[in-house]
Amino acid sequence: MAYQALYRVYRSQRFQDIVGQWAITQTLRNAIATHKTSHAYLFTGPRGTGKTSAAKIFAKAINCPHQKDGEPCNECEICRSITEGRLNDVIEIDAASNNGVDEIRELRDKVKYAPTQAQYKVYIIDEVHMLSTGAFNALLKTLEEPPKSVIFILATTEPHKIPATIISRTQRFDFKKIATPEIVAHEKEILNELQIPFDEEALFVIAKAAEGGMRDALSILDQGISFGDGEVTLEAALQVTGSLSQEKLAAYLTAVLNHQVEASLEILEDILQEGKEPQRFIENVMFYLRDLLMYQQAPQLLTAQTTQVSPEFIALAQKVQPDTVYASLKVLSATQQDLRFTNQGRIYLEVTTVKLAAVATAPSITAGAAVNPSKAIVEAAPTSDTPALQQLSQEVSRLQQQVSQLTEQLHNGASSDHSIRPPAVKRSGHSNQQKPQEIPRQRVFATLEKATRENLQGIRHHWEDLLQLLQASQRAMLRACEPVAASNEALVVVFDYEILSKRAAADTDLHQAIKAGVDRLLHFAPELVAIPREAWPNLRQSFLQERKLKNANGGSQQAVPEANEEGPLAQLTEETGEEDLVPEVAKDTFVETAENFFGKEFIEITND
Ligand SMILES: [Zn+2]
């Protein structure tokens, strides 16, 4: 016998076989059993959730002479011919395959004829949102004066594209995504029946990858079976879904959270070498972080839902601060959005990795690994036992709730905010374990003294070429920076994150590589001067002031007129337009504390 895909073999033949849509199937069964059916239905919902299966079962049940409790017998001639798609009275139209004008016109012509074999003529129009306007109009006419003994079932994944005039003439059922445990249970049922051995974790991996669609789950399961040579192993499931093993994820996140940029980039490289999809990778990391949070708050919940609580996982859960997780999720969510519009997935993942490592170094309020945020913040607050302190603690609980809601939204991909800058910039007044970078003020000034616009433009122009000459990890580090001034001897580069600036400043290999690279491209070999971005406006400002002062005093230095197109002044003043120094507004201490704790992007101040 020729091989048949699982999802075909195991297509539901009765309402009670449809997984995860109990409320809908029960309502339809009742309607059929009590002869209270409508003449038009609209089935909406994500792909693979049972819409067309339900439509076909409906067509059978309403026509089956042996119908019982609203279920078809599946054995009589009528049932069998519908299952096999050869009953003339059940007409399936796929609106996606053409836009349907002809088919709908034909439908209009023929709809008035009574069914020939069955009691009801049933039109099933799949992906109905694809119909052209003309076809919709034709359909509407038919729905306005429905002939007796005709039932329409319209199915769609995109109900918002269907004219309201159509929707209002149908009875609507919204099919939901199928929950992971329900998919797993169904997978198990099938494998047991087929006597195929399986690894339970593999079934979870497949169910998660199917994102609530049973048809997809069964297709992946099919691939898993052939990949695993008649057995469904975790490895096979990971391979066919492009998911990452928990070990790899743990290794990646451990490196990231220990801000080992190099190591995390290497692991990333490894993962990408195996051909993982960037989208899938980001998704896996997000799920893993979500699980870490859940484990911290309610370990029992997590163990009930998934299976994987490895020692590495527990170690991470004990170590990671919730605010780091929230900030990381935000970064990942933005990357997820960006990935949709690019085929440069690798670059985005490299930058994201560097960003995540920076998030992990953002100041946390306590030195100890306090897992409970409100506890952490209270411990860090001044030790005066005042009502204000209690109020603060209450406020934090409230914020905590908001944050978890936000995280939920992030998971649903609701965020469209692209301007992510994790709170790497330290504010004064807060303890800071990491020593800040020492700003090489004199070197910057010396560079500016001799900087020319040609040099800078040359480097900006060849920046991408320069990056290509570097190693992957060096390249990734330089994705978060920008060249701002260049002389023949030195190149000033501003980094978005102080941690990276500090690392770049100390990285002699990087200095060598840049020298060699620029030399090759532009025939001069500047020394790298790395500074954090937030230091740049002040440096620029003081340099300009010093120069003006010198000129005004008629010093021995050659005068550089402000209008000199070639001089450093022109180059700098030209840039002052993009000045982004925001005056530090005095803030409510609480808000500031909260911002430091949760990350600014999570705090919304409302006056209520
Ligand atoms: Zn039957």
Give residue 122 CA to ligand 1 midpoint distance, Å: 15
Across the chain, mean pLDDT equals: 78
| 6 to 14, 217, 476, 591: CA distances (angstroms) | 17, 10, 44, 56
pLDDT of 50 > 60? The answer is: yes
For the ranges 266-270, 393-397, 446-450, the lowest mean pLDDT is seen at 393-397
Residue 467 zone, left/alpha/beta (φ > 0; ψ -120 to 50; rest): alpha
Give residue 118 CA to ligand 1 midpoint distance, Å: 11
CB atoms < 10 A from the CB of 201, how many?
18
pLDDT of 424 > 50? The answer is: no
pLDDT of 436 > 60? The answer is: yes
DSSP character at residue 532: E
Give residue 86 CA to ligand 1 midpoint distance, Å: 14
pLDDT in tens, 263-282: 899 899 888 887 778 888 89
Determine whether 575 is exposed, middle or buried from the number of CB atoms within 10 Å of its CB (0-12, 13-18, 19+): middle
Sign of CA dihedral 179, 185, 190, 191: positive
**Residue-level length of the chain:** 608
Q: Mapping DSSP to helix (H, G, I), strand (E, B) and coil, where does residue 1 land?
A: coil
Separation CA 216–CA 157 (nearest Å): 15
Query: Which of the four pLDDT bands, split at 50, 70 and 90, describes residue 597?
Result: very low
Give residue 45 CA to ligand 1 midpoint distance, Å: 28
DSSP string, 538-558: HHHHHHHHHHHHHHHTT-SSP
Give residue 63 CA to ligand 1 midpoint distance, Å: 7
Give residue 10 CA to ligand 1 midpoint distance, Å: 18
pLDDT in tens, 510-532: 999 999 999 988 989 999 999 99
DSSP-derived pairing of the beta strands 171-174 and 150-156: unpaired
Query: Which of the four pLDDT bands, split at 50, 70 and 90, describes residue 404?
Result: low
Give residue 397 CA to ligand 1 midpoint distance, Å: 59
Give residue 77 CA to ligand 1 midpoint distance, Å: 7
Q: Mapping DSSP to helix (H, G, I), strand (E, B) and coil, where does residue 103 land?
A: helix
Give residue 38 CA to ligand 1 midpoint distance, Å: 21
For the ranges 196-205, 371-380, 409-418, 495-504, the lowest mean pLDDT is seen at 371-380
Separation CA 158–CA 495 (nearest Å): 44
Give residue 32 CA to ligand 1 midpoint distance, Å: 13
Neighbours of ion ligand 1 (CB under 5 A): 64, 66, 72-73, 76, 79
Give residue 42 CA to ligand 1 midpoint distance, Å: 24
Find where tokens 């180059």 sit. Answer: 571
Find where tokens 């451990």 sit. Answer: 254
| 189 in Cβ contact with 195 (< 8 Å) | no
pLDDT in tens, 405-421: 555 555 554 333 333 33
Separation CA 378–CA 400 (nearest Å): 13
Give residue 58 CA to ligand 1 midpoint distance, Å: 11
Identify which of 132, 144, 52 has the alpha carbon closest to the alpha carbon of residue 100. 132
Pick 227 or 586 by higher pLDDT. Answer: 227
| 57 in Cβ contact with 41 (< 8 Å) | no
Give residue 149 CA to ligand 1 midpoint distance, Å: 18
Separation CA 172–CA 127 (nearest Å): 15
Give the pair of three-digit tokens for residue 296. 């911290």
Pick 312 or 64 by higher pLDDT. Answer: 64
Give residue 55 CA to ligand 1 midpoint distance, Å: 15
Q: Mapping DSSP to helix (H, G, I), strand (E, B) and coil, where does residue 124 land?
A: strand
Query: Which of the four pLDDT bands, split at 50, 70 and 90, describes residue 45?
Result: very high
Pick 508 or 63 by higher pLDDT. Answer: 63
Give residue 62 CA to ligand 1 midpoint distance, Å: 9
Query: Which of the four pLDDT bands, split at 50, 70 and 90, describes residue 483?
Result: very high
| φ and ψ at residue 237, rounded to 5 degrees | -65, -40
pLDDT exceeding 90 applies to what percent of the chain? 34
pLDDT of 536 > 50? The answer is: yes
Predicted confidence at residue 75, as pLDDT, reads: 96
pLDDT of 96 > 50? The answer is: yes
Instruction: Say which amino acid occupies 401.
Output: Q
For the ranges 50-59, 209-218, 332-341, 364-373, the lowest mean pLDDT is seen at 364-373
Claim: this prediction has a pTM higher than 0.85: no
Sign of CA dihedral 457, 458, 462, 466: negative
Predicted confidence at residue 142, as pLDDT, reads: 87
Separation CA 121–CA 90 (nearest Å): 6
Mean pLDDT of 57-82: 96
Give residue 78 CA to ligand 1 midpoint distance, Å: 6
Mean pLDDT of 572-599: 40
Give residue 81 CA to ligand 1 midpoint distance, Å: 10
Half-sphere exposure of 522 (CA within 13 A, CB side): 24
Find where tokens 């601060």 sit. Answer: 321
Identify which of 492, 575, 501, 576 has the alpha carbon closest to the alpha carbon of residue 532. 501
Find where tokens 């440096």 sit. Answer: 539
Query: Which of the four pLDDT bands, split at 50, 70 and 90, describes residue 57?
Result: very high
Half-sphere exposure of 369 (CA within 13 A, CB side): 7
166-171: long-range pairs with CB below 8 Å, 24+: 166/42, 166/136, 166/139, 166/140, 167/42, 169/40, 169/140, 169/143, 169/144, 170/38, 170/40, 170/41, 170/42, 170/143, 171/38, 171/40, 171/41, 171/42
pLDDT in tens, 282-309: 988 998 898 888 888 877 666 545 546 6
Give residue 64 CA to ligand 1 midpoint distance, Å: 4
Half-sphere exposure of 76 (CA within 13 A, CB side): 16
Give residue 127 CA to ligand 1 midpoint distance, Å: 27
Give residue 20 CA to ligand 1 midpoint distance, Å: 24
pLDDT in tens, 312-371: 888 888 888 888 999 999 999 999 888 887 777 888 898 899 999 888 665 443 333 333
Give residue 65 CA to ligand 1 midpoint distance, Å: 6
Identify which of 551, 555, 580 has the alpha carbon closest to the alpha carbon of residue 563. 551
| 307 to 103, 205, 291: CA distances (angstroms) | 50, 10, 11
| 50 in Cβ contact with 21 (< 8 Å) | yes
Give residue 68 CA to ligand 1 midpoint distance, Å: 9
Give residue 491 CA to ligand 1 midpoint distance, Å: 81
For the ranges 38-52, 199-213, 403-417, the lowest mean pLDDT is seen at 403-417
Q: Mapping DSSP to helix (H, G, I), strand (E, B) and coil, where does residue 450 land?
A: helix
DSSP character at residue 430: S
Give residue 119 CA to ligand 1 midpoint distance, Å: 12
Q: Report, in angstroms and rounded to the nearest whole number, the Rg of the chain calculated over CA atoms.
A: 32
Separation CA 319–CA 322 (nearest Å): 10
| φ and ψ at residue 131, rounded to 5 degrees | -60, 145
Question: 443 - beta bridge partners?
Answer: none
Separation CA 248–CA 271 (nearest Å): 8
Separation CA 476–CA 351 (nearest Å): 6
Q: At what angle do helices 589-598 and 322-339 cross, to 10 degrees?
A: 60
Predicted confidence at residue 131, as pLDDT, reads: 86
